[in-house]
Structure 1
Amino acid sequence: MSKDYIRKTARYNGKKYEATGKTELEAMTKLAEKIAAAKRGEEVVGGSMTVSAWYIEWKRTYKDPKGLTSKSLSMYDEKFNGYIKPAIGYMKLREVKDVHLQRILNGQAGKSASHVKKIRMVLQEMFKRARQSRLIPYDPAELLELPHVKEGKRRSVTEEERAAILAVSEYHSSGLWILTLLYTGMRPGETAALTWSDVDFKRNEIHVHTAKESGSMAIKGPKTASGVRDIPIHSKLLPKLLEARGDLFAPVFPNAKGGRMDDDTMYRRWRSFCRELDIYMGAKVYRNQIIESKLSDDLTPYCLRHTFCTDLQKAGVPINVAKELMGHSDISITANIYTHRDNLILHQNIALLDGSGGKDGGKKFFSCSNT
C-alpha cells in the first residue's frame, strides 16, 4: 500500500473488515460505515471485496440454498480453504488475473485428475458468477488449462480374476454382495441402501432408487434422475438372492447387527474378500500373514461395476441400453467404457467381413499365419 494511505481494520461477528483513506479520519469513517452496514445485514458486494469475502457470499447465496449434500458442500470448502484461499484469498476480486489462477492449478501438477478438476470447477463457478453479477470486468477462470495430472483408471477384471472371484464367492461371507456388484453393476453405496422390497422376484428386477451417501449413513436419492433404474436379475444371481431372501424392509446386505452397511463395513468386507481371493490365487502366507501377494493392487469394487459394463458390450448390448442399466447421466460416460480396446471384440467384428458373421468369435484370424 502507498505511504499516502492509511489502513484501518476491525472485526465484527468473526469477520474482518478493512478500509483505507488518505487520513486516519477518512479511513476510520469508511470502516465505521462498513461495520454499520454489516450490522444492518447489508454486505458490501463489489469488485473491491476480497476473494475470501466473495467466496463466503457466493457460497451462501448460490450454493447453500440448492440442497446439495453436506459432502458436496464440504468439497467446496476443502478446495477453497486448502488451495485457493492461501494463494489469492487476500486479493481484491477485481485484481485477480488468469495467471494467478493458472498458478494455483499448476501447483497441483502430478496429482489426481479428479482433485485438480474440482479446484478448477470451484474457480470457474466463483468467477463466472462474479462476472455475471458485474463485479469484475472479465472472467479470469474462463480459459484455465489443466496441468499434467494422474488419470484414475478403472478397469475390468481379468479372466483369471473373474474365475477366482466366482470361486471364492461360493464360500466367503460377502460372496452374495460381491456377485451382486459383478452381475448388476450397482455402485457400492446403492447396494448399502438396497432392501428386500427393492428386489422384485415377480418381475425379476432390482429396483435402484436410493443410495447411501458417502461419508455418512444418510440414504438419499441418486445425484441424477438416470440413477433410478431397474436392473434385470442375472440368471446366476437369482437363486442366490432367493436363498438369502429376508424380511421385506430389511437390508439385503446387513451389517453384523442387522442394520445397513456403512463405509467402514464395506471396506472391511472388501479387504476380507480380497485377502481370501489373494490366497486362492496362490499368495504365500506365513503365520497368517500374506508375504507374497498375487492380487493386483488396483482391484477395487468399482472394477466389478466396470466389468458389468464391458460384459454388456461383449454381449452386444446397444450403448444406449447400457447407459440405462449403468445409471449414467451422460452417454459419453458409457462410451468411455465401451470404447476400451478389447481384442476379442475387434476380431469378432472384423470376422463379419469374411462371411463368417463373427460366429467363430474371430478364431479364424487367430489361426492365420503371419504374412
Structure 2
Amino acid sequence: MARGSTPKKVEGPRGVVWKMTVDVGVDPATGRRRQKKLTAPTRRELEVQAAKILADVSRGTYLEPEKKTLAEYLTEWLAMHGKSNLDPSTLRRYEGAIHQHIIPLIGSIPLAKLQPLHIQEMLAKDLAGGRRDNKKSRDRALSASTVLYHYHVLHKALNQAMKWRLITYNPADLVEPPRKTKTEKAVLNETEVAALLDGIRETYLYMPVFLIIYTGAREGEILALRWSDVDWDQNILHLRRSLYQRTPGQPLFKEPKNKKARAVDVSPVVMAELKKHRTEQRKQRLAFGPGYADLDLICCLQDGNPINPPTLSSVFRTKARRLGLPVTLHGLRHTHASLLLKAGVPAKVVSERLGHSQISITMDLYSHVMPGMQKDAVKKLDDLLAGKA
C-alpha cells in the first residue's frame, strides 16, 4: 500500500519549508522501492501534493515526471516503433509529418507537459500556413486532409506513449481535428478511357495503364505483377505483392496494402492483351541480349528492370494532360470503381476488386456515384411491383 513519511518543518536559508518522502512503488527495472521527496511552503500544500501522488500510485496511474521533449520522444518512436511496424512509403510520410510539421511547432514542449491546447494551436497554424516542402509555396495553407493526417500521426505516437507509461492520457483525444473536405474524384468516362488508351498505345505506359483501368489494382500492385501470377485457364490475376521504389535502381517488393493478397477476375479482352504483350516482351528480351534482367515482370523497362512508380506517375500525368485528360494514375483506379458502380455492380464486389479492408471505405469514396444508382433502384422496384419485371 502506498504511504508517506511524517511531514517535517525545516528551517532553510529562504525561510521555513515543509518536507516529506512518499513511496511511489517498485522500479520495474531494478525491483527496488522508489521514493520521491516533496517540498512545499506550508504543511497543507505538502499534504495535498502528497495525497495526489499517493492516490495516483494506488490507482496505478502515477508516472515519474520526465524532462524528455516531444521531439525526443517522436524521434525515438520512429526508430523503435515506426521502422519495424510501418512499410517504407508510410514511414517516409510519417517522417515528413513529424520532422517538417510537428517538431518545428511543438517539439520543444516536454512530453509530460503537452496539453490539448498545444496540439490545437499546431493544427491551426498548419491550416493557416504550414507548407514546408517547397520553396515557392512555403508558408502557404495546407489542406484539411493533410493537417488531419498530421493529427493522426501524432495521435498514434501519443497512444504508444501511453502504452509505454510515459503519459497518463492522450492529449490529442481532447482536440478538435479539422474535418476532411470531400472532393469528387477526377475520373474518366468510357469515351475518355478509349481516347487515353489510343493516345498511349505505342508507349511503355500502355500496359500498366490498361491493367489499372481493367482491374482497379493499385499502381504498385500492377508494377509488381509477374507472369507467374497469371492464371491463364481461369482468367485470373493474383495480386500477391506491391512495388515500392524510393530511388531508381532500388526496387523493393513488399506485401500488398492491408497485407492481403487477392485474386482479380479479368475478361478475355485483358487476357488477349496480355498474350500480345508477352509476345512483344519476348522479342525485346532477345533483342536486348544477356544483360536483360529476368524478373518475370509483366510491366517493366526494356531491360527487364522494374519501373520506378513515381516516374511512371509523373510521365503519365504529363501525357494525360497533353491529351486533354486531367486525371492521375491513381484516378484510373477511381475510374474503374465508378464505371462498375454505374453499371450496377454491387459495392461489395467493387470493394473486393479494389482490395479495400472494409466496404465502408468504398461507399465513402464513391458516394457521389450513388444518387444515380438510387434512382435506378426506385425504378426497378416500381417495375417489379407493377408486374413489368
TM-score, normalization by structure 2:
0.67
Q: Deviations over 1:73-112 (max 9, x none)?
A: 3333322221222222222222211000111111121523
Query: Equivalent of 2:257, from 218, 223, 230?
Result: 223
Query: Equivalent of 2:178, from 147, 153, 156?
Result: 147
Aligned counterpart, 2:78:
59
Q: 1:148 to 1:317 in 2, by over 3 A?
A: closer
Indicate yes or no: 2:162 matched with 1:128.
Answer: no
How far apart, CA to CA, are the structure 2 residues paired with 1:189 and 1:152?
24
How far apart, CA to CA, are the structure 2 residues paired with 1:167 and 1:255?
20
Q: 1:242 to 1:102 in 2, by over 3 A?
A: same
Shift of the alpha carbon at 1:141?
A: 0.9
Indicate yes or no: 2:308 matched with 1:258.
Answer: no
Matches within 5 A, 1:76-155: 76-109=94-127, 110-147=141-178, 151=182, 153-155=184-186
How far apart, CA to CA, are the structure 2 residues paired with 1:96 and 1:273?
48
Aligned counterpart, 2:350:
322
Query: Equivalent of 1:308, from 332, 336, 355?
Result: 336
Query: 2:111 is aligned with what amino acid?
Result: L
RMSD: 3.1
Aligned counterpart, 1:19:
none
Aligned counterpart, 1:198:
229
How far apart, CA to CA, are the structure 2 residues paired with 1:57 and 1:176?
43
Q: 1:87 to 1:173 in 2, by over 3 A?
A: closer
How far apart, CA to CA, are the structure 2 residues paired with 1:194 and 1:357?
47
How far apart, CA to CA, are the structure 2 residues paired with 1:169 and 1:235?
21
Checking the alignment, whether the CA contact within 8 Å between 1:50 and 1:89 is kept in structure 2 is yes
Query: 1:237 is aligned with what amino acid?
Result: V
- SS of corresponding position for 1:328: coil
Checking the alignment, whether the CA contact within 8 Å between 2:114 and 2:171 is kept in structure 1 is yes
Query: 1:315 is aligned with what amino acid?
Result: A
Q: 1:74 to 1:327 in 2, by over 3 A?
A: same
Indicate yes or no: 2:336 matched with 1:336.
Answer: no
Checking the alignment, whether the CA contact within 8 Å between 2:144 and 2:178 is kept in structure 1 is no
- SS of corresponding position for 2:264: strand
Shift of the alpha carbon at 1:252?
A: 1.1
Query: Equivalent of 2:267, from 234, 259, 268?
Result: 234
Q: 1:152 to 1:192 in 2, by over 3 A?
A: farther
Indicate yes or no: 2:108 matched with 1:74.
Answer: no
Of 177-186 and 158-167, more deviation after overlay is shown by 158-167
Q: Which has the larger radius of gyration?
A: 2
Q: 1:104 to 1:160 in 2, by over 3 A?
A: same
Shift of the alpha carbon at 1:249?
A: 4.8
Q: Deviations over 1:17-59 (max 9, x none)?
A: xxxxxxxxxxxxxxxxxxxxxxxxxxx9843322222223333
Matches within 5 A, 1:267-282: 267=313, 269-271=315-317, 273-274=319-320, 278=323
Checking the alignment, whether the CA contact within 8 Å between 2:148 and 2:178 is kept in structure 1 is no
Shift of the alpha carbon at 1:186?
A: 1.2
Query: Equivalent of 2:68, from 39, 45, 49?
Result: 49
Q: 1:58 to 1:177 in 2, by over 3 A?
A: closer
- SS of corresponding position for 2:173: coil
How far apart, CA to CA, are the structure 1 residues paired with 2:193 and 2:151?
38
Q: 1:160 to 1:145 in 2, by over 3 A?
A: farther
Checking the alignment, whether the CA contact within 8 Å between 1:111 and 1:149 is kept in structure 2 is no
What are the ranges of 5 or more consecutive residues in structure 2 without an aligned counterpart? Answer: 1-13, 15-62, 128-140, 283-293
How far apart, CA to CA, are the structure 1 residues paired with 2:217 and 2:163?
40
Checking the alignment, whether the CA contact within 8 Å between 1:169 and 1:176 is kept in structure 2 is no
Q: 1:322 to 1:272 in 2, by over 3 A?
A: same
Shift of the alpha carbon at 1:137?
A: 3.8
Of 195-204 and 141-150, more deviation after overlay is shown by 141-150
Shift of the alpha carbon at 1:333?
A: 1.3
What are the ranges of 5 or more consecutive residues in structure 1 without an aligned counterpart? Answer: 5-43, 279-294, 361-371
Checking the alignment, whether the CA contact within 8 Å between 1:172 and 1:273 is kept in structure 2 is no
Q: Deviations over 1:337-360 (max 9, x none)?
A: 4432356534422221332799x9
TM-score, normalization by structure 1:
0.70
| Shift >6 Å, 4+ stretches | none
Of 229-238 and 72-81, more deviation after overlay is shown by 72-81
Number of aligned residues? 298
Shift of the alpha carbon at 1:113?
A: 4.0
Checking the alignment, whether the CA contact within 8 Å between 2:155 and 2:173 is kept in structure 1 is yes
Checking the alignment, whether the CA contact within 8 Å between 2:244 and 2:309 is kept in structure 1 is no
Query: 2:71 is aligned with what amino acid?
Result: S
Query: 1:254 is aligned with what amino acid?
Result: C
